[in-house]
Amino acid sequence: MTDKIKYAIIGAGCMGQEHILNIEIIEDAEVVALCDTSEQSIKESLELLNNEVAIFEDYNELVRANIADAFIIATPNFTHIDVLKDVMKSEAHLLIEKPLCTTVKDCQEFEELSKKYPGVIWTAMEYRYMPPVQRMIQEIHNKTIGDLKMLSIREHRFPFLHKVDDWNRFTIKTGGTLVEKCCHFFDLMRLIAKSEPLKVYASGNQDVNHLDETYDGMTPDILDNAFVIVDFENGVRAFLDLCMFAENSEYQEELCAVGSIGKIETEVPSNQSGIANSDIRIGLRESDSSTKETIAVDIKILEAGHHHGSTYYEHTSFIKAIRNNTKPEVSLKDGLIAVAIGEAAEISINEDRVVQMSEFNLE
Ligand SMILES: NC(=O)c1ccc[n+]([C@@H]2O[C@H](COP(=O)([O-])OP(=O)(O)OC[C@H]3O[C@@H](n4cnc5c(N)ncnc54)[C@H](O)[C@@H]3O)[C@@H](O)[C@H]2O)c1
């Protein structure tokens, strides 16, 4: 395949537009079609594009038009399962925004249906591709800190933004905050630990955000803070500290891992902080000092989205998998287990108990 990779965006809202901005700065890729039910989203997306594209309101017509090599599915979470079943009538490569689906059951149904699908199917997990996070993972997997024992991830940020039709205000449409937002972090934990989750315990609530909002007479029901502990089969313990009423945090994510011989930590700057670089700090137990490495991201890449350059790097890897006919770096199984840990954490809070991952039939 020597031509540019032709992308069609299904769901041209906030995240769809971040994908457009990144594809626009990748030389061997182009957006050829947009599909959205909202005129406003189409209008905003067209403003980001330098070339003419085909416009669709119904993704079934986009599938029938057969004009794209790859579809990005960036519609609201609850629509993913239906969109996926329909776009599988094509043979296009699929980049599916996280969470893969809102429930383990839907993820498993899609996984089963996709077994013989000829295209690359990739769950979009942008946090894997943030340069400081990638560097930290490399050091952990190189055993710089010995055998990993403890991993903690803190996300302190602003509340959920307003989305088209405010679909992100209700658990039924998102899967719940710990699925919708935190599947990213559970995916990272599993990637870093190189192990499968055994059990999950969580404590959380909706204490501050969206309590004065109503939609068709209903108040939003999504958590705005939680602590989640995940125990892995290989003994690694991971911890998530989520707070969504912490605007103006300098760093949106802080990651810290401790192994048998040392500790490594890094931070991901929040968009509004204006900070472009991150530091990786490593302290070894038998040394008097620590080392620091600064990870810089190209400003052009930083400006193409809200995820510290990660969407750009995710696309370059996705394109490589398409061109080389290789397996996705983030598989459906990865997408499914990230949702399962999030679902387990939501159950843990709702039922006030430890949830064993064996309660889900994940084999
Ligand atoms: N990776 C990340 O960090 C990240 C960040 C934000 C959003 N997301 C994910 O991206 C997806 C979209 O979220 P968003 O923030 O862009 O929401 P959004 O509401 O801004 O955009 C969703 C778009 O989908 C359109 N849409 C809805 N139903 C449709 C249909 N049947 N056919 C075509 N278009 C349809 C809407 O009109 C809207 O324009 C979600 O799955 C979300 O979880 C991921």
For the segment 224-249, what is each residue's pLDDT rounded down to a tens digit?
A: 999 999 999 999 999 999 999 999 99
Q: Is 74 in the pocket of ligand 1 (CB under 6 A)?
A: yes
Q: Are 66 and 4 in contact (CB under 8 A)?
A: no
3-state secondary structure the chain: CCCCEEEEEECCCHHHHHHHHHHHCCCCEEEEEEECCCHHHHHHHHCCCCCCCEEECCHHHHHHHCCCCEEEECCCHHHHHHHHHHHCCCCCEEEEECCCCCCHHHHHHHHHHCCCCCCCEEEECHHHHCHHHHHHHHHHHCCCCCCEEEEEEEEECCCCCCCHHHHHHCHHHHCCHHHHCCHHHHHHHHHHHCCCEEEEEEEEECCCCCCCCCECCECCCCCCEEEEEEEECCCCEEEEEEECCCCCCCEEEEEEEEECCEEEEEEEECHHHCCCCEEEEEEECCCCCEEEEEECCCHHHHCCCCCCCHHHHHHHHHHHHHHHCCCCCCCHHHHHHHHHHHHHHHHHHHHCCCEEHHHCCCC
Strand order in the sheet with 290-295: 290-295, 278-284, 262-269, 251-259, 148-156, 237-243, 225-232, 197-205, 355-356
- Judged against a pLDDT cut of 90, whether residue 363 lies above it is answered with no
- Judged against a pLDDT cut of 90, whether residue 289 lies above it is answered with no
Distance, in Å, from the CA atom of 164 to the CA atom of 41, rounded to the nearest integer, reads 8
Q: Is 16 in the pocket of ligand 1 (CB under 6 A)?
A: yes
Q: Which percentage of the chain shows pLDDT scores above 70?
A: 99
In this structure, how many other beta carbons lie within 10 angstroms of the beta carbon of residue 92? 24
Q: Is 310 in the pocket of ligand 1 (CB under 6 A)?
A: no
pLDDT of the residue at 359: 98
Query: Which of 52, 49, 1, 53 lies closest to 25, judged by CA?
Result: 49
Q: To 10 degrees, what angle do helices 310-324 and 131-141 make?
A: 70
Q: How far is the CA of 17 from the centre of ligand 1 (A)?
A: 9
Q: How far is the CA of 43 from the centre of ligand 1 (A)?
A: 15
pLDDT digits (tens, 9 = 90+) for 144-188: 999 999 999 999 999 999 999 999 999 999 999 999 999 999 999
Q: Is 15 in the pocket of ligand 1 (CB under 6 A)?
A: yes
Distance, in Å, from the CA atom of 143 to the CA atom of 207, rounded to the nearest integer, reads 40
Q: Is 14 in the pocket of ligand 1 (CB under 6 A)?
A: yes
Q: To 10 degrees, what angle do helices 104-113 and 332-351 make?
A: 160
Q: How far is the CA of 179 from the centre of ligand 1 (A)?
A: 15
- Judged against a pLDDT cut of 70, whether residue 222 lies above it is answered with yes
- Judged against a pLDDT cut of 60, whether residue 1 lies above it is answered with no
Sole residue written with tokens 């931070």: 267
pLDDT digits (tens, 9 = 90+) for 99-129: 999 999 999 999 999 999 999 999 999 999 9
- Judged against a pLDDT cut of 60, whether residue 312 lies above it is answered with yes
pLDDT digits (tens, 9 = 90+) for 4-27: 999 999 999 999 999 999 999 999
Sole residue written with tokens 């620091």: 292
Domains of the chain (ranges plus CATH)? 5-125+317-330 (3.40.50.720), 128-305+337-359 (3.30.360.10)
pTM across the whole model: 0.98
